[in-house]
Structure 1
Amino acid sequence: MRLRVLAIAGTALALLSGCGMFSRHSAQDCMERAMFFESIRSSRDGMIAVGSVVMNRVASDQYPDSVCGVVAQKNQFAPGIMSRKMNGRGLPLVQEAARSVLRGERHPLTGNAMFFHAASYRAGYDNMHYVVTTGGNAFYERRDVTRVTQPVPLPAIEGITHR
């Protein structure tokens, strides 16, 4: 039990320190920013899916190993994501969703997806395997062309995640 508590505390400290806990942004703030500017705050499912992609990237060797490192990475998320002001009625839902993802919640259909785009956008690549469309975004994994079985965005689905 004590080892588990130490492991959880160590993981939390690593996440927070990697996000600049002692500087400008915390992991919570960075996750909120990703959800706020990328999910259009249209659904909790969409926000949790965006957060799941961020966490998939944090776990990958191909991206920075902190939430803020991933969210602030150049040309990956909305322009000005780290500096634009967040406000509006949707902010409490964003804050709750960010807390939930940082505590371990994931959208059950995102799987290993590390990418998404607006659901209305049609990309011309043949290596995109779509896993879910929610919150106005289509989420996908990049795969070898021979392993792509869902090459077009799926119909939108909402109401899977719960507070």
Structure 2
Amino acid sequence: MRAHSKILLRFAAMAILASSLGGCSFLGMNIGLGQMSEKECMMRAMYFESNRSSADGMLAVGTVVMNRKNDPRYPKSVCGVVGQKNQFAQGVLSRPMTDSGAILASQVAEQVLRGARHPGVQDAQHFHTAGLRFPYNNMFYVLEAGGNEFYEKRDPRSGRLL
């Protein structure tokens, strides 16, 4: 019974600690068990998808997130877009950000959420690792930045966005 009591006490202490951290924030990230802010979701997408290579690459990724958010076919929130299954890096919303790239991601996320966009991305809603090629004829490439190639999906016959 003693081991069981110790486990319950530890669990209670962890729950109290987590609830007390609920209002804390660092670089715009919620610490504790609360829901992630739009800024944190944007930071995470840019951090994990741009290879933390440059502000330019992060801005391009952020622009894609916002292009999707503004399209009725996608969720209406940054976290909804970033959290869509099989759309962004695995674990994008749960893996730790472990280097100084998080600081740059925080700065660029703030800019994107205030309206900054990468002009080269245009209306693109998709990207993949630079250097990969796929046999589809509806991928219209518009930019390479941050280790990624950004593209619009277009009807090959009419040239209209899909």
The one of 134, 139, 142 equivalent to 1:131 is: 142
**Amino acid in structure 2 at the alignment position of 1:35:** M
Residue 119 of structure 2 is aligned to residue 112 of structure 1: no
* CA distance, structure 2, for counterparts of residue 95 and residue 44 of structure 1: 10
Shift of 1:65: 0.4
The one of 111, 128, 131 equivalent to 1:100 is: 111
Equivalenced residue count is 127
CA deviations 1:7-35 (Å, max 9, x no partner) are xxxxxxxxxxxxxxx94200000000000
Corresponding position of 1:3? none
Q: Which runs of 5+ in 1 are unaligned?
A: 1-21, 149-163
* CA distance, structure 1, for counterparts of residue 152 and residue 92 of structure 2: 23
* TM-score, scaled relative to structure 1: 0.75
Corresponding position of 1:45? 56
Aligned residue runs from structure 1 range 1-163, under 5 A: 23-147=34-158
* CA distance, structure 1, for counterparts of residue 102 and residue 37 of structure 2: 16
Shift of 1:120: 1.4
Shift of 1:147: 4.7
Bigger Rg, which one:
2
* CA distance, structure 2, for counterparts of residue 55 and residue 89 of structure 1: 24
Taking a change above 3 Å as real, the CA distance of residues 127 and 146 of structure 1, as seen in their structure-2 partners, is same
* CA distance, structure 1, for counterparts of residue 126 and residue 39 of structure 2: 20
Shift of 1:146: 2.5
Identity of aligned residues (%): 54
Shift of 1:108: 0.7
* TM-score, scaled relative to structure 2: 0.76
Shift of 1:91: 1.6
* CA distance, structure 2, for counterparts of residue 147 and residue 123 of structure 1: 20
* CA distance, structure 1, for counterparts of residue 125 and residue 63 of structure 2: 8
* CA distance, structure 1, for counterparts of residue 142 and residue 108 of structure 2: 20
* CA distance, structure 1, for counterparts of residue 106 and residue 138 of structure 2: 33
Shift of 1:89: 1.8
Could you say which structure has the greater relative contact order, defined with CA pairs below 8 angstroms and 6 or more residues apart? 1
CA deviations 1:56-84 (Å, max 9, x no partner) are 00000110000000000000000111110
